[in-house]
A and B are shown apart, each in its own frame.
Chain A
Amino acid sequence: MEQRVRVLLIEDDPDYTMLMGVYINEACGENLRYLLESAVSLQSGLDLLARQEYDIVLLDLMLPDSQGLETLISVRAKAPSVPVVVLTNLDQDDAGLEAIVHGAQDFLSKSKLDPGRLRHAIGFALARDRLYHQMEKLIERSPDGMVIVDRSRMVRYANAAALNLFGRKWERFVGRLFDYALTPDCAVELKLPRAGGEELIAEMRVAEIEWKGYPAWLATIRDVTEIRKLAQARAEVRERVNSEQLKDQLLSTVAHELRSPLSVVKAVVGSLRDSLAGPMNGKQTELVAIADRHINRLTRLLNNFLDLSRLESRRARVTRRPLDPLALINEVVEGARMANRGKSVAISVELPPELPTVSVDADMVAQVLGNLLDNALRYARSTVTVRALLKGDAVEVSVADDGPGIPKGKSKDLFDKFVQLDRPKGGEGYKGTGLGLAISREIMALNEGRIWADDEPARGACFRFTLPLEKKPAATREVGRHARA
């Protein structure tokens, strides 16, 4: 394919223009053709540049209507993307070098011109121009903002990302003073206002460079708003976790510390109650019994509280083993019956003859069932009923009482900490801690079970929890059968 290069010669000397026409023809090669047009003044050259596209401009700096570097500057302003080769007279190398500083791709000495040099200069200028544009594109398209600021703090260049970051148009940014401090070799954070009162956080780094022959600064600006927000969120979360841990630690310390004086009071009151310090009269016995009850209540509260904080912080050790749910239920019910001896409420049990093995922490589940029985016994009128049955892949255990029941819509709140519904209390003033159900919920979560209360039981309250069945790996059982065979 033939390469065509459109050349505009701006030259007021007609002899030289003619000579150039001859050289240019000679410079053409097999696959390379130069198409030459010429203008005799700067103005006519600028007119042509405005009308037509050229690949390169050969420019005489000394024209009737413009002399020296001004000529070059005018052409560059008119057609910034067209490379320029400046034509100099004898011994004007300095002028040529200066023209390069001001954006010319190369210079040619008129007196030393020949077809070979001409072709060489044009080819070199085009290649250099391509490279320059490639680099410019690289900078222009960079996702990081790049701003070039000269030593008078004037913005000389800004890429699209930079204009976008500073929220300004080219003409309102380039050619104006740069408002930010330029400190080389360190990252500075800029807060850039956005529309709608928002702020954009950008990180600016500054390097010293040379720009068009003069020392300048290259400021690279990156939008770090998201990163900063993320870091801030992370720090906040960490702080919150720390203060949460601190709070837990403090409460745990307080609870533990309270146990020592409580043990003293308990021992002292126990001594009085058991008449170790002499016989007690009826009134004294009554008062000491009240103190004793409340010491026990305080003890339960502390123990429950410590249980719950251990469960919540996942410090509790869960030991899940396969076990028979019937044995577990019977054992806990037996214990509750013993403790409930002499009271009017009965515990009835309705269990199937057999249930599959479940996988739970026995002590923990016993605590849950104990809690539910304890609650039910407090509210029941005459009977508490414990049932269990296989439901799907779990054994569902329920504890029902025939008391006043749970008000509609309150069954979920019950499992929150320190929630005690205003239900009539059992006769002897036994008060719960408001933590039992919260503990039970944590325990069930650790054992992959669920716990809930029926929202609208026909009579009384009914609490249910599930115990996941033991997962038997099929392969192991196969091996077992073979071994026995």
Chain B
Amino acid sequence: MLARKKVLIVDDERDLVAPLAMRLTASGRYEVAVAYDGAEGLVMAVEFRPDVALIDLAMPGLDGWQLCEGLREDPRTRGVKVIVMTAWTSPDLGRRAQAEGVGELLLKPFEEADLLRALEREAAGTAGGAA
């Protein structure tokens, strides 16, 4: 049996976090932890040691970009793969994402299939939680 990858979902929209977490858990392939703002996400990342972080950009306090930066600065979380989700597009979004080392960009609302594919691609390169 394949080891389940660890995914941390960080979004202040609790109503989105709940069904996403439900789906990922139900897939049987992921172990899920959640956080509802950037600061909490940073703490959870150190505690939970996810393989992939699914991060919303617009959050109160520490926003998604700052969270990405925080993950990169800490050697314990430096290797976490990042998928960014956002409802806001801007011309420089792609460039910024690339500069911040973001692996995938999901535009809200996204297809569940797209999320699962993105997660699979990102998680493929990681060691895996239980491995």
Measured in the bound complex, the distance between the Cα atoms of B19 and A295 in whole Å is 16
Q: Is the C-beta of A239 less than 8 angstroms from some C-beta in chain B? A: no
B113 and chain A: residue at smallest CB distance: A270
Chain B residues with CB below 8 A from A315, complex form: 91
Chain A residues with CB below 8 A from B20, complex form: 267
Measured in the bound complex, the distance between the Cα atoms of B23 and A257 in whole Å is 24
Chain B residues with CB below 8 A from A265, complex form: 109
Chain B residues with CB below 8 A from A267, complex form: 16, 19-20, 23, 109, 112
Partner pick for B109 among A271, A274, A276, A295, CB 8 A cutoff: A295
Given contacts A259-B108, A262-B109, A264-B16, whether A271 and B87 have CB atoms under 8 Å apart is no
Chain B residues with CB below 8 A from A256, complex form: 87-89
Once the chains bind, are B89 and A263 in contact (CB under 8 Å)?
A: no
Chain A residues with CB below 8 A from B23, complex form: 267, 270-271, 274, 276
| Min CB gap A266→B, angstroms | 4
User: A234-256: which residues lie under 8 A (CB-CB) from chain B?
Assistant: 256
Q: Is the C-beta of A299 less than 8 angstroms from some C-beta in chain B? A: yes
Chain B residues with CB below 8 A from A264, complex form: 13, 15-16, 19
Q: Is the C-beta of A277 less than 8 angstroms from some C-beta in chain B? A: yes
Q: Is the C-beta of A260 less than 8 angstroms from some C-beta in chain B? A: yes
Q: Is the C-beta of B26 less than 8 angstroms from some C-beta in chain A? A: yes
Measured in the bound complex, the distance between the Cα atoms of B19 and A276 in whole Å is 9
Measured in the bound complex, the distance between the Cα atoms of B16 and A256 in whole Å is 16
Measured in the bound complex, the distance between the Cα atoms of B107 and A264 in whole Å is 13
Provide the B74-92 mask, 1 if CB < 8 A to any CB of A, else 0.
0000000000010111010
B26 and chain A: residue at smallest CB distance: A276
Chain B residues with CB below 8 A from A262, complex form: 108-109
Chain A residues with CB below 8 A from B108, complex form: 259-260, 262-263
Measured in the bound complex, the distance between the Cα atoms of B4 and A476 in whole Å is 57
Chain A residues with CB below 8 A from B89, complex form: 256, 306
Measured in the bound complex, the distance between the Cα atoms of B28 and A276 in whole Å is 12
A257 and chain B: residue at smallest CB distance: B87
Measured in the bound complex, the distance between the Cα atoms of B14 and A346 in whole Å is 44
Given contacts A260-B13, A266-B109, whether A276 and B87 have CB atoms under 8 Å apart is no
User: B97-112: which residues lie under 8 A (CB-CB) from chain A?
Assistant: 107-110, 112
Once the chains bind, are B87 and A260 in contact (CB under 8 Å)?
A: yes
| Min CB gap B30→A, angstroms | 13
Once the chains bind, are B19 and A259 in contact (CB under 8 Å)?
A: no
Chain B residues with CB below 8 A from A271, complex form: 19, 22-23
Provide the B92-131 mask, 1 if CB < 8 A to any CB of A, else 0.
0000000000000001111010000000000000000000
| Min CB gap A154→B, angstroms | 69
Once the chains bind, are A263 and B87 in contact (CB under 8 Å)?
A: yes
Once the chains bind, are B109 and A259 in contact (CB under 8 Å)?
A: yes
A306 and chain B: residue at smallest CB distance: B89
Q: Is the C-beta of A268 less than 8 angstroms from some C-beta in chain B? A: yes
Provide the B1-30 mask, 1 if CB < 8 A to any CB of A, else 0.
000000000000101100110110010000
Chain B residues with CB below 8 A from A263, complex form: 13, 16, 85, 87, 108-110
Measured in the bound complex, the distance between the Cα atoms of B23 and A306 in whole Å is 29
Measured in the bound complex, the distance between the Cα atoms of B24 and A276 in whole Å is 10
A298 and chain B: residue at smallest CB distance: B109
Provide the A316-347 mask, 1 if CB < 8 A to any CB of B, else 0.
01000000000000000000000000000000
Partner pick for B22 among A277, A295, A299, A306, CB 8 A cutoff: A277
Chain B residues with CB below 8 A from A268, complex form: 15, 19
Chain B residues with CB below 8 A from A257, complex form: 87
Measured in the bound complex, the distance between the Cα atoms of B114 and A263 in whole Å is 13
| Min CB gap B61→A, angstroms | 18
Measured in the bound complex, the distance between the Cα atoms of B15 and A385 in whole Å is 45
Which residues of B are in contact with A by a Cβ distance under 8 Å? Answer: 13, 15-16, 19-20, 22-23, 26, 85, 87-89, 91, 107-110, 112
Task: Please list the 3 inter-chain residue pairs (A to B) with the smallest Cβ-Cβ separation, ordered nearest first.
Answer: A263-B109, A259-B87, A263-B108
17 pairs from A and B in contact (CB 8 Å cutoff): A259-B87, A259-B107, A260-B13, A260-B108, A262-B108, A262-B109, A263-B16, A263-B85, A264-B13, A266-B109, A267-B19, A267-B20, A268-B19, A271-B22, A276-B19, A276-B22, A299-B109
Which residues of A are in contact with B by a Cβ distance under 8 Å? Answer: 256-257, 259-260, 262-268, 270-271, 274, 276-277, 295, 299, 306, 315, 317
Known pairs A274-B112, A276-B19; list 9 more (Cβ under 8 Å).
A256-B88, A257-B87, A263-B16, A263-B87, A264-B16, A264-B19, A265-B109, A271-B22, A315-B91
